[in-house]
């Protein structure tokens, strides 16, 4: 959403069960593939069921692409890769997931339509394996601070997101051209006797540094509930 910039970075014993799959030290966990039913990319709005997901996340307010936004993206990826390398050294490797974000207006769950970009609220997120603990996050942050990285890393938190039933579709095009697909998603939800509930969720599949704006792929998701509920 908005003119988002720079989105494109994409001690566990051998044989333990991770993310409902038995892993060995030669396998790399890919959460996108593990939960592929949650990351479908339909061209038209469709309903999907999502389960609880663990993320590292950092919140902010303001126009996407401003200095604070960029600083927080850098901090999030710094923590993500530090966690990944620590896990790999401990025997369990995994792929760092793509960037995701929640967007809301003046209050949680409200749309940003008509709200000046400088007043947008957002939460940048990267999904992490469920074996990630607070102590792992603290160690990663400590490592980055010791290396002289920006203190913004201290604002990165572990959060669980449980959206349940959602309406979802693939948007191909600029980040600031999502109004039409969101309207289609709202209509599809209403046709099913549902209404939007919760924050607008975007999952970024393309690197804007390498892909033209008209070819950018983004999964759009919005939790829903029974209309009038």
| Residue 11 covered by a domain | no
Out of 7-11, 19-23, 80-84, 87-91, which region has the weakest mean confidence (pLDDT)?
7-11
Residue 19 belongs to some domain of the structure: no
- pLDDT for the residue numbered 18: 40
First to last CA, the chain: 28
Read off the pLDDT of each residue in 125-143 and give the average, rounded to a whole number: 98
- pLDDT tens readout for residues 18-44: 444 444 445 799 999 999 999 999 999
Looking up residue 181, the CATH number of its domain turns out to be 3.20.80.10
Summarize the confidence of residues 66-71 as an average pLDDT.
Answer: 95
**What secondary structure letter does DSSP report for 153?**
G
Whether residue 29 is contained in a domain is answered as yes
Q: Do the domain assignments include residue 15?
A: no
Q: How far apart are CA 211 and CA 217, in angstroms?
A: 9
More confident of the two residues 106 and 129: 129
0.85 cut: is pTM over it? yes
- The CA distance from 127 to 151, in Å, is 21
Q: For position 30, what pLDDT does the model report? A: 97
Q: Over range 4-21, report the average pLDDT.
A: 39
Say if 69 falls within a structural domain: yes
Query: For position 2, what pLDDT does the model report?
Result: 67
Residue 118 has pLDDT above 90, yes or no: yes
Tell me the residue range of the domain where 52 lies: 25-34+44-226
214 domain-assigned: yes
What's the mean per-residue pLDDT of the chain?
90
Q: Is residue 64 part of a domain?
A: yes
Q: Does residue 210 lie in a domain region?
A: yes
Give me the number of domains the chain comprises.
Answer: 1
């Amino acid at each position: 959403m908005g003119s988002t910039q720079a989105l494109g970075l994409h001690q566990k014993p051998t044989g333990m069960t991770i993310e409902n799959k038995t892993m060995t030290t030669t396998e790399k966990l890919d959460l996108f593939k593990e939960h592929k039913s949650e990351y479908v990319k339909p061209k038209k709005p469709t309903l999907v069921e999502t389960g609880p997901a663990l993320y590292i996340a950092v919140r902010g307010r303001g126009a996407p692409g401003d200095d604070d936004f960029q600083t927080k993206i850098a901090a999030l990826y710094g923590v993500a890769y530090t966690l990944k390398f620590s896990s790999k050294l401990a025997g369990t490797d995994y792929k760092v997931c793509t960037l995701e974000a929640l967007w809301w207006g003046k209050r949680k769950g409200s749309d940003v339509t008509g709200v000046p970009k400088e007043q947008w609220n957002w939460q940048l997120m990267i999904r992490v394996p469920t074996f990630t603990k607070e102590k792992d996050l603290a160690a990663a942050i400590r490592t980055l601070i010791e290396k002289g990285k920006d203190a913004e890393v201290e604002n990165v938190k572990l959060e669980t997101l449980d959206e349940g039933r959602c309406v979802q579709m693939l948007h191909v095009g600029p980040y600031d051209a999502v109004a039409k697909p969101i309207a289609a998603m709202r209509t599809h939800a209403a046709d099913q006797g549902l209404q939007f509930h919760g924050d607008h969720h975007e999952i970024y599949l393309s690197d804007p540094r390498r892909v033209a704006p008209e070819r950018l792929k983004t999964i759009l998701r919005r939790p829903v509930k029974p209309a009038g509920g």
